[in-house]
């Protein structure tokens, strides 16, 4: 029962994340990308900060782990790059394409883990990379020259999220969850604000006419509360009742929800070639976590016993 509840909760997280692509795209038409991320993650960190204050267990965990700040800021840096590249990319490309290209992070994780953590590259990983690369080729128009500026930024976003996942696997063991998450979100907010100060016109940002735009208010509320603070807490909690492979497969549905939302809310269409590319990327994401080796080994064992 707990596993079913966990799968349902993670599916809801994927749904929330999938719907935010269109919402954020509407908001950055009024609010510059890094200013938006700064406010979004500040609000999310504020929410988790209040939660942490009332969590005695997390306070004790924080005192026992002296390196929590180093770990949190390191993870926050990759999260900052991921959301920064994604939000900037949404200015120049469609939300449906952004959803699927972002999903490539599931595919690149095994490659990064093999290189950085010396983990063995499996048949599943190799197959997923081939399918995802073919899918990206078709999704961006069937030509390397067709990848526009927005697609390229989102591709960098996928690699940044991939690094965040790999580093989380390295740092998160034994760390107090709430503190680690809180420090990450605060780091993203600070780094985004610094970037905004250098690259964006803040005088044109923090004025009531901009901040009270319906699109901006809805995006900040939905992303800060539901897609950031609550989503990260839910993911951390529910992952304790299911396997990493099932989590990855459930999250593979995020770009599907993103494309569906883009079609219903923004009337975005991808065309036959783009849809084929999306299917290949999705297949690659599933293949990345599919236990080919275990199935082959199980069959060989069964054949040996029967013989």
Whole-Å CA distances, 121 to 73, 106, 168, 234: 28, 14, 19, 30
Question: Exposed/middle/buried for 233, CB within 10 Å: 0-12, 13-18, 19+?
Answer: middle
Residue 142's region, left for phi above 0, alpha for psi from -120 to 50, else beta, is left
Question: Exposed/middle/buried for 234, CB within 10 Å: 0-12, 13-18, 19+?
Answer: middle
Tens-place pLDDT, residues 132-188: 777 777 766 655 556 788 889 999 998 898 888 778 777 766 677 788 889 999 999
Q: What are phi and psi of 228, to 5 degrees?
A: -120, -70
Collapsing DSSP to helix, strand or coil, 227 comes out as helix
pTM, to two decimals: 0.80
Tens-place pLDDT, residues 75-93: 999 999 999 999 999 989 8
**Distance in angstroms (rounded) separating the CA atoms of residues 106 and 135:** 14
């Amino acid at each position: 029962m707990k596993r079913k509840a966990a799968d349902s909760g993670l599916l809801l997280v994927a749904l929330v994340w999938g719907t935010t692509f269109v919402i954020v795209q509407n908001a950055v038409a009024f609010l510059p990308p890094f200013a938006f991320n700064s406010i979004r993650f500040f609000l999310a960190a504020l929410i988790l900060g209040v939660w942490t204050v009332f969590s005695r267990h997390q306070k004790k965990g924080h005192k026992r782990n002296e390196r929590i700040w180093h770990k949190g800021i390191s993870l926050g840096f990759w999260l900052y790059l991921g959301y920064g590249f994604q939000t900037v990319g949404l200015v120049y490309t469609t939300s449906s394409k952004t959803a699927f290209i972002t999903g490539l992070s599931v595919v690149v994780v095994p490659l990064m883990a093999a290189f950085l953590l010396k983990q063995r590259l499996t048949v599943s990983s190799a197959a997923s990379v081939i399918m995802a690369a073919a899918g990206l080729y078709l999704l961006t128009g069937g030509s390397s020259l067709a990848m526009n500026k927005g697609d390229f930024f989102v591709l960098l976003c996928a690699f940044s999220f991939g690094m965040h996942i790999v580093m989380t696997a390295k740092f998160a063991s034994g760390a107090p969850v709430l503190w680690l998450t809180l420090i990450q979100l605060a780091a993203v907010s600070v780094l985004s604000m610094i970037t905004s100060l250098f690259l964006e016109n803040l005088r044109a940002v923090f004025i009531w006419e901009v901040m009270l735009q319906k699109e901006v208010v809805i995006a900040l509320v939905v992303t800060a509360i539901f897609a950031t603070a609550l989503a990260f807490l839910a993911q951390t909690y529910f992952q304790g009742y299911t396997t990493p492979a099932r989590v990855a497969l459930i999250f593979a549905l995020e770009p599907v929800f993103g494309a569906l939302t883009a079609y219903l809310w923004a009337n975005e269409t991808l065309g036959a070639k783009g849809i084929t590319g999306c299917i290949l990327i999705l297949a690659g994401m599933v293949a990345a976590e599919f236990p080919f080796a275990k199935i082959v080994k199980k069959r060989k064992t069964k054949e040996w016993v029967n013989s």
